């Protein structure tokens, strides 16, 4: 089991575990943090966002068992995921921060030592992320998260439109975290903290992709990022749209091009969600936002869906086949 290094020169790594009502998973997450090996000095900060199940009691057990290693930060009410992330990072003391969501867990006991070595070697690198497996809770299968992935030359725009990073794989320099900026994310009521944090990091420092698979990401239906109703899915996707808009307007280059792409993606997502939830009325309204020839050059599937969305008969006839055999998102 990992313990604090006795070498005074080692930098402290804060493992920030964020949890809320995760009594089924939290032991596994904490145990995977305790299982980290190597010549590293760690602390484990668990931030609980007002759980009303046994999550907090389980975390308290670990704090009692490892009083010099584990600390628990609590909230009397459920304030939301952004506030919980902020609380965890603010409560930590490390030079480096590693994030772990309470329903995920690490499978590589050398994850932190590998990432620490990279950050120690290259001062220009501000954060390290890795490959992972999706755990599809529905059928219990593992899916490679970043198969054949290679970072682009513009990690900011890559992350802006096709986020590849998963928070539980991430380790970063504490100096990159700006509390005031994160509070802006909270003030804007963004529904997810990972994308804005990643985008900020991409604009502030170089990133490094570790191709090792280090993490199991629990892709649970009903979570914030995997909603189960049309209203919640639209709400989440609109929040992603607003996060992109925030960064394009504040710090993006080629604003006109990026804004147009953001609008296209948001309209496309609304159309796909309409098909997914059998909402012909909304699909028909959205269909006219996609001129066929211009859309065909960008996205052939959306061009076809927009044509099929204009008539109830074609929508009704083709929807069962398309939703059954072709993943819409």
- Under the banding of pLDDT at 50, 70 and 90, the label for residue 147 is confident
Q: In terms of domains, do 251 and 215 share one?
A: no
Cβ 100 vs Cβ 132: under 8 Å = no
DSSP string, 98-143: EEEETT-EE--TTHHHHHHHHHHH-TTEEEEEEEEEEEETTTTEEE
pTM: 0.90
Question: How does DSSP classify residue 148?
Answer: T
Is the per-residue pLDDT at 296 higher than 90? yes
If asked whether residues 206 and 96 sit together in one domain, one would say: yes
Q: Are residues 199 and 124 in the same domain?
A: yes
* Maximum distance among all Cα pairs of the chain, rounded to whole angstroms: 72
Strand partners, 144: 133
Confidence band, pLDDT 50/70/90 cuts, at residue 49: very high
pLDDT at residue 225 tops 70: no
Question: What pLDDT is recorded for position 328?
Answer: 46
- For residue 159, give the CATH number of its domain: 3.90.550.10
Strands 105-106 and 206-219 turn out to be antiparallel
For position 159, what pLDDT does the model report? 95
**140/174 Cα distance (integer angstroms):** 35
Residue with tokens 């329903």: 103
Here the tokens at position 66 are 């490892």
Residue 4 lies in a domain: no
Assess whether 215 and 259 both reside in one domain: no
Residue 122's domain comprises 12-219
- The 10 Å CB-count burial string (b at 16+, else e) for 147-160 is eeeeeeeebbbbbb
pLDDT (mean) for 261-279? 96
Q: Is the residue at 45 inside a domain?
A: yes
Residue 265 has pLDDT above 80, yes or no: yes
């Amino acid at each position: 089991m990992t313990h604090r290094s006795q070498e005074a020169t080692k930098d402290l790594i804060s493992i920030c575990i964020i949890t809320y009502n995760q009594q089924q998973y939290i032991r596994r997450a904490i145990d995977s943090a305790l299982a980290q090996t190597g010549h590293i000095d760690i602390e484990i900060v668990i931030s609980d966002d007002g759980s009303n199940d046994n999550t907090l009691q389980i975390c308290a057990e670990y704090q009692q068992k490892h009083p010099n290693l584990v600390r628990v930060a609590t909230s009397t009410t459920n304030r939301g995921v952004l506030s919980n992330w902020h609380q965890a990072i603010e409560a930590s003391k490390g030079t480096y921060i590693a994030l772990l969501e309470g329903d995920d867990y690490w499978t590589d006991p050398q994850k932190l030592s590998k990432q620490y070595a990279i950050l120690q070697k290259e001062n220009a690198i501000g954060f390290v992320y890795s490959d992972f497996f999706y755990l599809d809770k529905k059928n219990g299968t593992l899916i490679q998260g970043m198969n054949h992935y290679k970072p682009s030359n513009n990690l900011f725009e890559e992350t802006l439109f096709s986020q590849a990073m998963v928070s539980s794989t991430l380790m970063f320099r504490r100096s990159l975290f700006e509390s005031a900026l994160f509070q802006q994310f909270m003030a804007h009521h963004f529904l997810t903290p990972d994308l804005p944090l990643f985008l900020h990091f991409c604009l502030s420092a170089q990133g490094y992709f570790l191709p090792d698979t280090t993490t199991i990401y629990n892709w649970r239906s009903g979570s914030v990022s995997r909603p189960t109703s049309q209203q919640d899915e639209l709400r989440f996707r609109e929040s992603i749209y607003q996060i992109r808009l925030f960064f394009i307007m504040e710090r993006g280059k080629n604003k006109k091009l990026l804004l147009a792409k953001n609008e296209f993606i948001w309209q496309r997502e609304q159309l796909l969600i309409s098909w997914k939830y059998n909402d012909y009325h909304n699909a028909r309204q959205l269909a006219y936002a996609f001129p066929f020839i211009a859309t065909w050059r960008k996205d052939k599937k959306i061009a076809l869906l927009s044509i099929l969305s204009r008539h109830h008969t074609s929508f009704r006839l083709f929807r069962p086949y398309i939703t059954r055999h072709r993943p819409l998102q």
